[in-house]
């Protein structure tokens, strides 16, 4: 399996606080990888490092090598806008722009200098399994959609830019079970085209959708492997304890 995204000897600290300790991890192309581990272990920090979200924090220190295929994601010559176009991100809380449904997709395309015609907007909404629900309300403010619809809109906005990777940080944690299952179906369908890394606290969700699972603890990767193996035959005692709910 070809590696799409990777971190080598990655260390991250904020001021005096060392948050990620020598992370080595590789995500395979067109697979879904789940990042699991107790609160505060560094899952979001790792995810965010791949699209340079820590650039905004002056006290963040990042050492190591992060790559998208051969591209060094922290190379001075690569504009961060290009990285964020190729590596999209979806957050825990849906964050549509305060604009219409249509504009939410078109605006993202426009600022990235991509064609933003009706057909492109429709295609993105189709791809995010949202089109049928919104096709008659494209001018409605996106904030009037349900939480699950807003999250699918954010996914549509990400896929509209034709990224190669989509990072998702607990995308379903604010959603009801029905909306959650819809997003899970969507994520499984997106993997035909995109490489997906998803942080989740939901162990059933990881087992339903992820090909691989990475278990993190206190800023380190403790175990990684095929999801079946991690959940049915973990090699690390801490993984076993975490997935059976002893802590976290
Ligand atoms: N910008 C920052 N400045 C200072 N500390 C930070 C910053 N971002 C993250 N941290 C710290 O890094 C550690 C890891 O946080 P992170 O958000 O990555 O954990 P997480 O595994 O995603 O947890 P959760 O499951 O609760 O979302 C925490 O101790 C957090 O306080
Ligand atoms: Mg987090």
pLDDT for 143-152, tens place per residue? Answer: 999 999 999 9
Q: How confident is the model at residue 245 (pLDDT cuts 50, 70, 90)?
A: confident
pTM: 0.96
Distance 92 CA to ligand 1 centre (A): 14
Q: Is the CB of 40 within 6 Å of ligand 1?
A: yes
Q: Is the CB of 44 within 6 Å of ligand 1?
A: yes
pLDDT by residue (tens digit) across 128-187?
Answer: 999 999 999 999 999 999 999 999 999 999 999 999 999 999 999 989 999 999 999 999
pLDDT by residue (tens digit) across 103-116?
Answer: 999 999 999 999 99
Contacts of 191 (CB under 8 A, 6+ apart): 30, 31, 32, 211
Nearest residue (CA) to ligand 1, atom 22: 44
Nearest residue (CA) to ligand 1, atom 17: 44
19 Cα distance to chain centroid:
19
Q: How far is CA 189 from CA 4, 64, 184, in A?
A: 18, 33, 9
- Mutation pick for ligand 1 pocket among 43, 168, 199 (CB with most ligand atoms within 8 Å): 43
Between CA 142 and CA 150 the distance in angstroms is 7
């Amino acid at each position: 399996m070809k590696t799409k995204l990777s971190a080598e000897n990655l260390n991250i600290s904020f001021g005096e606080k060392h948050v990620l300790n020598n992370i080595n991890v590789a995500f395979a192309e067109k697979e879904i990888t789940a990042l699991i581990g107790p609160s505060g272990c560094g899952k979001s920090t790792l995810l965010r490092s791949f699209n340079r979200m820590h650039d905004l924090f002056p006290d963040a220190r990042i050492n190591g090598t992060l790559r998208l295929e051969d591209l060094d994601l922290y190379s001075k010559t690569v504009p961060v806008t290009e990285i964020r176009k190729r590596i999209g991100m979806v957050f825990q809380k849906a964050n549509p722009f305060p604009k219409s449904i249509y504009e939410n997709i078109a605006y993202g395309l426009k600022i990235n200098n991509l064609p933003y015609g009706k057909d492109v907007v429709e295609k993105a909404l189709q791809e995010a399994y949202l089109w049928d629900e919104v096709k008659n309300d494209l001018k409605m403010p996106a904030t009037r959609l349900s939480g699950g619809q807003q999250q699918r809109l954010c996914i549509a906005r990400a896929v509209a830019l034709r990224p190669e990777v989509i990072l998702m940080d607990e995308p379903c944690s604010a959603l009801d079970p029905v909306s959650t299952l819809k997003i899970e179906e969507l994520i499984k369908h997106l993997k035909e085209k995109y490489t997906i890394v998803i942080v989740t606290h939901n162990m059933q969700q990881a087992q339903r959708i992820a090909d691989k699972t990475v278990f993190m603890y206190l800023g380190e990767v403790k175990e990684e492997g095929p999801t079946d193996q991690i959940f049915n035959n973990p090699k690390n005692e801490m993984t076993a304890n975490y997935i059976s709910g002893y802590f976290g």
